[in-house]
Amino acid sequence: MGVYVNPGNAGFARIAGSRYVDKTGLVALINERIDDEGNLVCISRPRRFGKSYAAKMLTAYYDCSCDSHSLFDDKKIAGSDGYERHLNQYNVICLDITGFTSSVKMRNGSLRLVPEMIEKAIWKDLIEVGFLPKQDDTLNDFLLRCVESEGGKPFIFIIDEWDAVIREAKDDSSAQEAYLNLLRGWFKNNNFTPKAVAAAYMTGILPIKKDGSQSAISDFEEFSVIKPRSFGPYVGFTESEVRKLCDLHQVSFDNMKRWYDGYTIEGVGSVYNPNSVMEAIKYNDFDSYWAKSSSAEPLLYYISQDYNGLTKTIAELIGGVEVIVNTTKFANDLTTFKGKDDVLTLLIHLGYLAYDADRGTVRIPNEEIRREFQWSIHEVRHEATLKRLEESERLFVDTIHRHEEAVAAQIEKVHMEETVPLHYNREDSLRSVIKLAYYSYRDHYLQFEELPAGEGYADVVYLPRTDSNWPALVIELKWNKTAEGAIDQILRKKYPVCLENLGCPILLVGITYDRDAKDGQKKHTCRITEYTIE
């Protein structure tokens, strides 16, 4: 049993206990591809979304040096076709590329040394597990000899953080090329790949680069966080899985959803950050575990880029507004950006933004990531966003103290600045104005759009958090009506009735503007009144 060649099942055994969320359905998907077209798979997803767990699981299942029945017989994979046929039937090479890059950097060496280190490590392991090379063998010759020996078995390659060299040597093309040549020798070699490689599973953060410079892995079928396809259920924890965990460990599902939900996968629905969910259960504490598991430096760097419209977009995202994004132009690297869409797309791959494939939009997914954004905009002095944050906090104070003229003036300012003239009077634009104006709400409130209430849907409602002593806010924004008329609509349609059991004051906020004002100004007015429970 080696370190990188046939490392056994101990890694998976340590995590397959009572708190393990059964993701062995992933094994069935790989089984279908073994020795078939599509047997080279590359999956990209953010840090701390279970990539290493998946690598350990696959290693334990395929490794011929151990017996893993006790680990898998009670899992979902046991009921699938091919379970016994593939269980512990292959030589496995399992590599975590970050281990090699870290080792090189500790010695102050060039990342060009990584391929040589990998080859030496595999060579040493092959000998230690009992394979014998010939004098003039290259590594590929040696691997082929292992497969063609009496009782030999083909290899399954499992490579975690495959793109570590690509990311960390982003400005060193020679280091990237040396590493890609290593992969090319394994996976794009007609004299080796069909004979020696039963399958390969690579996972990382970045998708394969589009310009062809990573042609070494162009034969891999790719499944990214934007298009995971059949691998969607294995991007993170699904909602049903999180509900079961919450029931099992008696923790609040509502809090779990607010803190770690928000990623949406087509055909799967809500997906949660697995690391953060398990940390919250472990410590019985809902907190931001993101910064504890990865550096926030990328977010700091990328949101401070000087691309047209990016500052405004960051403000919209923090305000809870979904933003349209074009993900098709992204070059799948850390250096080639042509505009804000490329920055936003990278943030999707890094896990800082959630992508909705149906609408083609991005949003900040949850409370954990919102805190990372708020910390970052203060750190990089995102002046425009900080100013909006201060104005929003002031707006809440003015609303609660019923400073109607100040509220009307701020809503008008946001409306004028953030809404293009063509869409000024659209209903969805009016809701966006409210969300942008009140975008610091998360410190004290939960925000609901079109909340079913009474005899209709309230435009925007802010419900105070349990630790907040602020009043609930029901806000209605109209045009060419009086502010009193907006209040009357709230009362007539009985929007506040469903809030009466909250045990807190309820403020009704009616805001209107005259889109046909003679002086050309879209003048806003505001009325604020406290709702009386009869």
CATH number at residue 73: 3.40.50
> Within 13 A of 247's CA, how many CA atoms are on the CB side?
6
User: How many domains, in total, are found in the chain?
Assistant: 3
Q: What is the CA angle 211-216-222, rounded to 5? A: 75
**pTM for the structure as a whole:** 0.80
Average pLDDT across the chain, whole number: 87
**421 has pLDDT over 50:** no
Domain check: are 354 and 483 in the same one? no
pLDDT digits (tens, 9 = 90+) for 374-409: 777 766 556 666 677 788 889 999 999 999 999 999
Structural domain including 226 reads 10-234
Tokens of 448: 């609901």
Shared domain for 255 and 324, answered yes or no, is yes
- 437 in a domain, yes or no? yes
Query: Is residue 98 assigned to a domain?
Result: yes
Angle between helices 239-249 and 274-283 (to 10 degrees): 10
| 521: confidence class by pLDDT, cuts 50, 70, 90 | low
Same domain for 305 and 402: no
Are residues 414 and 372 both part of a single domain? no
Instruction: Say if residue 294's pLDDT is above 80.
Output: no
| 334 band by pLDDT with thresholds 50, 70 and 90 | confident
pLDDT band at 520 (very low <50, low <70, confident <90, very high): low
Task: Please indicate, yes or no, if residue 93 is contained in any of the structural domains.
Answer: yes
- Is 3 inside any structural domain? no
Q: What angle do CA 347, 353, 354 make, to 5 degrees?
A: 130
CA distances from 180 to 215, 216, 230, 273 (A): 8, 6, 27, 30
Pick from 357, 379, 401: which residue ends a domain? 379
Q: Is residue 5 part of a domain?
A: no
* Same domain membership, residue 179 and residue 54: yes
Residue 182 confidence (pLDDT) above 80: yes
What is the distance between the alpha carbons of residues 251 and 273, in angstroms, rounded to a whole number?
A: 16
* Per-residue model confidence as pLDDT tens digits over 124-150: 999 988 888 888 899 999 999 999 887
Q: Pick from 217, 234, 251: which residue ends a domain?
A: 234
